[in-house]
């Protein structure tokens, strides 16, 4: 289907299950999306002592909202998605991604440009414990401005105390130039930037994510205690040991980002 913003295709594949693409770029598949969404959400949510309000930039497939809802202290999740057609297509054809997240009263869907949505929220006095970039293409014209200095500064200003921003940098193997550029921009704006290296089959393997704010990561024992306190038991990728290990980067990535 073609929406007002992009071409949306849902396809069944033998290796990755059912996936959807936007203008030809693969976004998520039901067989391996848990790697990205569990990491994107729980690395930030468990590093925070008590998150109650979260903003997902993009996230129209509902998978990040799904993972956030596993934290019992979450009171509100705002999903700022450009294209309602993405939400409708995934709910219809790949319901395993949202798993009913958009039917939960704690989830609020705001359709439109995420920059406008966040500007309006900021002016209204809304502040967030977690801001998650569920966006994978910093050089896509539709979302390039969401990785610019002004918007990144707005994100930081929209954080509540102890708040954390998670930004996907991309593939150091296949998107080296834009990974280097975005990392440099973030490092120039924010102190204490923390990187994590994930393995994302759909995106070609190694995938970098950056955490901003919130101070240093809690120790593994603290992360384990928070998992137990919040009664989160059904994770397939994330665990505290993986959290800690993901902070160790191969030499070629250090060289890329130097």
For 164-218, how does the pLDDT look when each residue is reduced to its tens digit (9 = 90+)? 999 999 999 999 999 999 999 999 999 999 999 999 999 989 999 999 999 899 9
A 10 A CB-CB count for 147 gives 22
Residue 220: band (very low, low, confident or very high) from pLDDT cuts 50, 70, 90: very high
**Is 134 among the residues known to form the active site?**
yes
Q: Which residues are paired to 13 by β-bridges?
A: 17
What value does the mean pLDDT take over residues 230-257?
97
Given 134, 139, 150, 234, the catalytic residue: 134
A 10 A CB-CB count for 168 gives 26
pLDDT > 70? residue 55 = yes
Q: Are strands 194-200 and 205-212 parallel, antiparallel or unpaired?
A: antiparallel
User: Token digits for 197?
Assistant: 């290296």
3 state SS of 27:
strand
Count Cβ atoms within 10 A of the Cβ of residue 248 and give its class: 0-12 exposed, 13-18 middle, 19 or more buried.
exposed
Domain spans in the chain, listed from the N-terminal domain onward: 32-257
What's residue 140's pLDDT? Answer: 60
What's residue 142's pLDDT? Answer: 60
pLDDT > 60? residue 138 = no
What value does the mean pLDDT take over residues 146-174?
96
Q: Tokens 């440009």 map to which residue?
A: 113
Residue 237: band (very low, low, confident or very high) from pLDDT cuts 50, 70, 90: very high
A 10 A CB-CB count for 257 gives 17
3 state SS of 164:
strand
CATH of domain 32-257: 3.40.50.150
């Amino acid at each position: 289907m073609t929406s007002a913003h992009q071409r949306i295709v849902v396809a069944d594949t033998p290796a990755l299950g059912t996936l959807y693409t936007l203008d030809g770029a693969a976004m998520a598949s039901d067989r391996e999306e848990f790697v990205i969404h569990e990491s994107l959400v729980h690395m930030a949510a468990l590093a925070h002592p008590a998150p109650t309000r979260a903003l997902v930039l993009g996230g129209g497939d509902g998978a990040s909202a799904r993972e956030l809802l596993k934290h019992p202290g979450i009171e509100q999740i705002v999903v700022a998605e450009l294209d309602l057609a993405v939400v409708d297509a995934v709910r219809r054809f790949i319901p395993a991604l949202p798993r009913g997240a958009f039917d939960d009263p704690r989830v609020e869907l705001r359709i439109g440009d995420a920059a406008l949505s966040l500007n309006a929220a900021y002016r209204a006095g809304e502040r967030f414990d977690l801001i998650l970039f569920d966006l994978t293409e910093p050089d896509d014209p539709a979302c390039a401005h969401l990785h610019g200095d002004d918007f990144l500064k707005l994100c930081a200003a929209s954080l509540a105390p102890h708040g954390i921003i998670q930004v996907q940098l991309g593939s150091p193997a296949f998107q080296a130039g834009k990974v280097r550029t975005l990392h440099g921009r973030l490092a120039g704006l924010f102190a204490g930037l923390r990187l994590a290296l994930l393995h994302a089959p759909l995106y070609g393997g190694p995938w970098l994510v950056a955490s901003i704010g919130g101070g240093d990561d809690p120790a593994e024992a603290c992360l384990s205690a928070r998992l137990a306190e919040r009664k989160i038991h059904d994770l397939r990728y994330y665990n505290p040991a993986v959290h800690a290990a993901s902070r160790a980067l191969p030499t070629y990535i250090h060289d890329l980002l130097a």
